[in-house]
Chain A
């Protein structure tokens, strides 16, 4: 058990709360999507710090999976936002 690490985790969680404001406010979809990236990176940080704080080494694996898969949502957003352009013959 480790006070400093716990304090770090709490602080990072607080920054996450701040980031949620951008999801609520952000006028465009890109704004909202970039907040998920914030949550992804900060989430990795929280997990790594918590892993030291409560002495649970398995959390590092959760952070690994986090890092890998949080980006898939962003890629899916970028590649699936638009309908493909109609064939040139139609327009």
Chain B
């Protein structure tokens, strides 16, 4: 029985790894842009399964939400704008659903760059293989120290403890980078969020009405669980962003937010909360972003909630790709 079990496990891992590599290869070699986008979405889904199989549940949730769903939507947006541009240049009318095939100019296949990449990759592969094969069976890393300090960190989920307490600097900078990305994206265009061709229809309305509250609920659930089980700000933020994207695509309840002051404040909230917590740590314990013990739990929850709001708004803002127009939606 045990032989079959480990055999099946190996089979599962080989199948997953093989499919991942296969999809990546297809995605990179196809001249059809839409095909590569779909392959990317599907690759993200497989990646989430792989993370789950490896035991990294927090990463799996984040990958499923951000990598598969949201990035897929972002790519589809971008592709649509590209296609529109190309067709406008050629003076054609938009051809829906690709019945005539792709209109982006397909580049002729050149093998030179591929060969150069393959040759350059071989020594890297050899080094990685050598490192993997000669590494000790169990790498200790900082695991034991982190687990030992877990009680002092204020949460019971080691991943959240590392993200929001032990390595909080990394997370602050990540959220800042996300904010900068939104600023960069928003500076590209202005105007109202473009509506799609044709009315949304009753099915989409019903779906948005059903799914959005559920997504908000799941997002809140993930944030709350982040303290003691897989979950946290990034995952919850991504799910909430999904809800926001649903509302935007459903085009029925476009929230009015004037000049978007509330949204901008929400975007900044994540970084701000980190700064406040950091300064508090500076004044009370002499080190920036240092909190331990009973106080830590409160700070972490506050930062978690603020970061969730920031991440959700940032992802929605990236999808909308334009700042909120006056009197229109966010």
Contacts and interface: CB of A to CB of B under 8 A. Distances in A.
Interface residues of B, number: 71
A87 interface: no
A79 B64 contact: no
A56 to B, nearest CB: 7
Nearest to B214: A68
Interface residues of A, number: 52
A56 B52 contact: yes
B117 interface: no
Nearest to B215: A68
A73 B69 contact: yes
B60 interface: yes
7 contacts: A24-B35, A32-B34, A36-B72, A61-B57, A70-B64, A77-B76, A82-B96
Chain A binding surface, main DSSP class: helix
Q: Which 10 A-B residue pairings sit nearest by Cβ, starting from the closest? A: A69-B69, A73-B72, A58-B57, A76-B73, A29-B98, A82-B197, A79-B196, A6-B8, A32-B38, A83-B94
A17 B12 CA distance: 13
Nearest to B96: A82
Given A3-B4, A58-B52, A70-B45, 7 more contacts: A9-B12, A43-B46, A50-B53, A73-B41, A79-B204, A82-B196, A84-B195
A24 B39 CA distance: 9
Contacts of B239: 65, 68-69
B84 interface: yes
Interface in A15-32: 16-17, 20, 23-24, 28-30, 32
B223 to A, nearest CB: 13
Contacts of A56: 52, 55, 57
